[in-house]
Copies of this chain bind each other. A is one copy, B any other.
Amino acid sequence: MKPYRAYLFDLDGTVYRGNKPIPEAVMALREMTERGAHIAFLTNNSSMTPEQVATKLRAMGVPADPEQVVTSSLVTAAALREEMPGASVYAIGEEGLLAALRSAGCRFDDERPDVVVVGIDRRLTYEKLAKAALAIQRGARFYATNPDRALPSEQGLLPGNGALLAALVTTTGVQPRVFGKPEPAFVHYALKRLGVPPQEALMVGDNGQTDIPAGARAGTDTLLVLTGVTRPEDVQALPVAPTYVAANVKEWWER
């Protein structure tokens, strides 16, 4: 096993599944932390704040500070702060997105915002979709935290942010600018925070369609773990070949 200075970890399917930790990942993360590796957690989930994510990880036995957590909401808000400081936004989303936009200095405006930002919102209503659609037609930019089509749950797949986006694209004919993985900007943002160049970092994730391309396009090595959505028989057909494939994080770590 080649050691890296930094490890960028996807969360759902990699470190935990829903509310259940994946023990091999927890074990490896504890060892990596003890050895002084830089670790960041990168999640497309826009609904939670970094504080909430860190609390969840610590409850599972993973050493984690909020500063190590990068959500698609943070990356979206950071782009807004950089490109359109003080922009007014209409947001569909949960606490993680609203808090990130507030911290980035955005003003909220339902009627004539500069930007419509859409993340998963399990309190979605028709009225929210209508407001977003009308604002986009009035010329607001259309930003999306992440493109995930569905949220896995114990009962089955629930509508993901990609489903909300599809409704708005169908209504308006306008495509959103998307920030989450597989966009490499997400990985660059995390690396910049850690102060580590891409060639010294490993992106670790279970999703061959998002985690692996995001890392590869950002210039990191990549480790695909088979603890989540990618099945062994899918590996050959992935759009980007991972640097490593392993049953789980610990199996790779002990090589």
Contact A126 B159 (CB under 8 A): yes
Contact B126 A126 (CB under 8 A): no
Give the interface SS of chain A, mostly helix, strand, loop or mixed: helix
Say whether A156 faces chain B, with CB atoms less than 8 Å apart: yes
Contact A137 B157 (CB under 8 A): yes
Q: Which of B138, B156, B164 contacts A167 (CB 8 A)?
A: B164
For chain A, which range describes its interface: under 10, 10 to 19, 20 to 34, or 35 or more residues?
A: 20 to 34
Contact A160 B155 (CB under 8 A): no
Q: Which residues of B contact A170 (CB under 8 A)?
A: 149-150, 159-160, 162-163, 165-166
| Cα–Cα distance between A114 and B113 once the two chains are bound (Å) | 43
Q: A134-B155, A171-B150 are in contact. Are A126 and B129 (CB under 8 A)?
A: no
A147: nearest chain-B partner, CB-CB: B170
Contact B122 A126 (CB under 8 A): yes
Q: Which residues of B contact A169 (CB under 8 A)?
A: 166
* Distance of A141 from chain B, by nearest CB (Å): 16
Say whether A130 faces chain B, with CB atoms less than 8 Å apart: yes
Contact B134 A149 (CB under 8 A): no
| Cα–Cα distance between A124 and B126 once the two chains are bound (Å) | 5
Which residues of chain A from 87 to 145 have any CB-CB distance to chain B below 8 Å in the complex?
121-127, 129-130, 133-134, 137-138
| Cα–Cα distance between A137 and B155 once the two chains are bound (Å) | 10
* Distance of A132 from chain B, by nearest CB (Å): 9
Select the residue from A137, A149, A159 with max chain B CB neighbours within 10 A. A159
* Distance of A254 from chain B, by nearest CB (Å): 37
